[in-house]
Amino acid sequence: MFIVIIGPPGAGKGTQAKRLTEEMGLIHLSTGDIFRENINNRTELGVKVKKLLDNGILVSDELTIEIVKDRLIDLGFDRGAIFDGFPRNVVQAQALDDFLRDNGAKVSVALSIEVQNEVVIDRLTGRRTDMKTGRIYHVIYDPPPVGVKVEQRADDIRETVEKRLSDYCETTVPIIEYYKQRGILSVIDGNADVDDVTENLVKCLSGEVLL
């Protein structure tokens, strides 16, 4: 089974994808994790991606699609995967459909986690990253332990967050309709408690798991 999780930045896609991965035994394929891995290793790709993200600019479709294809080929198609942060637009969604179809697979369900803009801004601008481990904290909801050195990532500054939301509305929201027309879209309230969101996602997928 291949699942797509859609939602604005700060919707909790990564957290929920990891929980669903454990619950269902699927592979968690996060473009954000792939990019961060390259950034931390200071690869040529990492340098390019960091410069883009620091300025609130999305990575190109061509580069993102190729990275996902390569990772899927490495992982194989037997276990299925949960896509987190991909696809970001209709072009990427169509490319994913074509690639999966060519390999005898398909997207079974698209989960749209809806969160109000005010909630997104509050969640992201309060995030702080452990400079040593990369773990993410929140100054209010999950403050870092005393003595842990943290920093606010450039893409979590309010101005950048607002631009990311604008980009999401312009480029990603249209894929909600794309999957809706295919009859595989399910909408989840992402403003709820994280455990409640997980429970609702599992309930939503329970029928799909039996297919």
Give the chain as a DSSP string.
-EEEEE--TTS-HHHHHHHHHHHHT-EEEEHHHHHHHHHHTT-HHHHHHHHHHHTTPPPPHHHHHHHHHHHHHHH-SSS-EEEES---SHHHHHHHHHHHHHTT--EEEEEEEE--HHHHHHHHHTEEEETTT--EEETTTBPPPTT--EE--GGGSHHHHHHHHHHIIIIIHHHHHHHHHTT-EEEEETTS-HHHHHHHHHHHHHHHHT-
| DSSP assignment string, 62-91 | HHHHHHHHHHHHHH-SSS-EEEES---SHH
**Backbone dihedral angles phi then psi of residue 67, each to the nearest 5 degrees:** -65, -45
Catalytic residue positions? 13, 88, 127, 153, 164
Angle at 9 between CA 24 and CA 100, to 5 degrees: 45
